Amino acid sequence: MRVLHLNFSAQGGAGVGVQRLNKALLIKKIHSKILNYDEYLNENNFFPRYIKKIMWNLKIIFKKILVKFFVNFPHKETISLNIFNNLDIQKIIDQKKFDLVHLHWIGNEMISLKEINKINIPIVWTMHDMWAFCGGEHFAIDKRFQRKYSKISRSKKESGIDLNRIIWKKKEKYLERKNIQLISPSNWMNTQVKKSSLFKNKKSTVLPYIINTNEWSLNLKKNKKIFTNNSKTIILFSATSSVNFRKGFNYLVNAINDYLDHKNYYLIVAGDKPKQFDQVKIEKKFVGKLDSNRMIKNIYYSSDIFVMPSLYESFGQVFIEAGCYGLPSVAFKKTAVEDILNHKKNGYLANYKSSKDLAKGIDWARSKINRDKNFKYYNRKFIIDNFSYETRTIDYINLYKKIIRYNKNSKY
């Protein structure tokens, strides 16, 4: 069995998730390969490839101009068109004789919808976000994806070209009847798929992100305490896109400032610096982007509670990373994190968008780790049982085999 994973970049949550899945498959002796488009553009810069890179950059510039000057709707930074042909994927498939293509995060003009439609071997597509069944946005803040992006469903706050409708109609043309097996990393995402007018009739399986718990271990001698002189309970917030409204840092700020006892807590923020960071009224430190797994692990190992009040999330790998180090996590209900946290067992699920209940959860976590010395080991065991290579890789392999076997004589 030969599996090709298509993903735009090794960076970000999807990129990390793909790399982990690929390694898990290789351990199981599955021929698995990743094609990251940003790496593909930069390798072997002979003339044809160099032209491809120039053409891709021109398409990105065109998209930015189009969105900036001709479209008016919120969160423009999360738009992908994917209407330009960029990647002769079928040629790559034929050359390497792959049996299955696994699509991941393919936005940012990596591959056109038309090119996806031309793939003639079985396709699996992981919903790392909502883009596949939405318009151009990667997370929908309204319900247009349930209503076929009709003209009457458009918000009155929007104006200019109805870009989301144009992109959705392209997807309807090329993807609605295409035989694609969907993977949702969480039950929350699977619910959104089933609500969508585009993909509601497609087969969808819930398979979470996985992690090598042997590499993310409490027992590694290389783990190092970074904040050893701090006697306060350390809250960790970490996000590579914390400036994005979806990550909910403003709810954490309100929880800390209005509802927590300031003398008990110390805040660590990793990743991108949120705009509201300076508004936090307790002792705090911004450690910036963590450029190695070792630094990331040391930050988890040095913290006491992980808090991520995301409003929308396809899964939340940071929660299973934190869980590997026994950290209790605090997040909102009605999100994908409900698949990872058992309320008041390995974390706290606060009422959606409630800073007051978020603070209550932080206080609960502080009390729990102070009272129960075995708490961190229970948390870690939960991650091993539900999200480790050992327990979940076989689910992916079985799905691949089933699809290939079922479609062996089918025409794509």
* Residues 365 and 397 placed together within one structural domain of the fold: no
* Residues 402 and 382 placed together within one structural domain of the fold: no
Q: Is residue 64 part of a domain?
A: yes
d(CA 20, CA 32): 11
What's the pLDDT tens digit per position in 114-128? Answer: 999 999 999 999 999
* Residues 20 and 54 placed together within one structural domain of the fold: yes
**Tally of domains within the chain:** 2
- Would you state the pLDDT for residue 412? 41
* Residues 401 and 370 placed together within one structural domain of the fold: no
Query: Which domain range does residue 87 map to?
Result: 2-210+389-406
Q: Is residue 152 part of a domain?
A: yes
Q: Is residue 221 part of a domain?
A: no
- Would you state the pLDDT for residue 75? 61
For residue 109, the domain's CATH number is 3.40.50.2000
Q: Is residue 196 part of a domain?
A: yes
* Residues 335 and 393 placed together within one structural domain of the fold: no
pTM higher than 0.85 for the full model? yes
Q: Is residue 217 part of a domain?
A: no
* Residues 70 and 187 placed together within one structural domain of the fold: yes
Mean pLDDT by 10 residues, the chain (412 residues): 96 94 98 93 68 88 87 73 88 92 96 95 97 94 94 88 95 96 98 97 97 88 72 91 80 98 95 92 92 88 95 94 96 96 96 98 96 92 97 98 81 45
- Would you state the pLDDT for residue 77? 60
Q: Is residue 223 part of a domain?
A: no
- Would you state the pLDDT for residue 183? 98
Which helix (H) or strand (E) covers residue 36, if one does? Answer: strand 31-36
d(CA 58, CA 48): 16
* Residues 247 and 346 placed together within one structural domain of the fold: yes
What is the CA 233 to chain-centroid distance, rounded? 28
- Would you state the pLDDT for residue 54? 87
* Residues 194 and 294 placed together within one structural domain of the fold: no
Query: Which single residue is written with the structure tokens 């930074």?
Result: 77
- Would you state the pLDDT for residue 47? 57
DSSP state of 326: T
Please check whether residue 396 is in contact with residue 387, taking contact to mean a CB–CB distance below 8 angstroms.
no
* Residues 60 and 173 placed together within one structural domain of the fold: yes
- Spatial CA neighbour of 216 closest among 66, 365, 379, 27: 379
- Would you state the pLDDT for residue 70? 79
* Residues 284 and 143 placed together within one structural domain of the fold: no
Q: Is residue 118 part of a domain?
A: yes
Long-range contacts of 147-155 (CB under 8 A, 24+ apart): 147/197, 148/172, 148/197, 148/198, 155/73
- Spatial CA neighbour of 155 closest among 175, 137, 177, 173: 137
* Residues 183 and 260 placed together within one structural domain of the fold: no
Q: Is residue 228 part of a domain?
A: no
* Residues 369 and 398 placed together within one structural domain of the fold: no
Amino acid sitting at position 263:
K
Distant-in-sequence, close-in-space partners of 320: CB < 8 Å, separation ≥ 6: 209, 211, 340, 383, 387
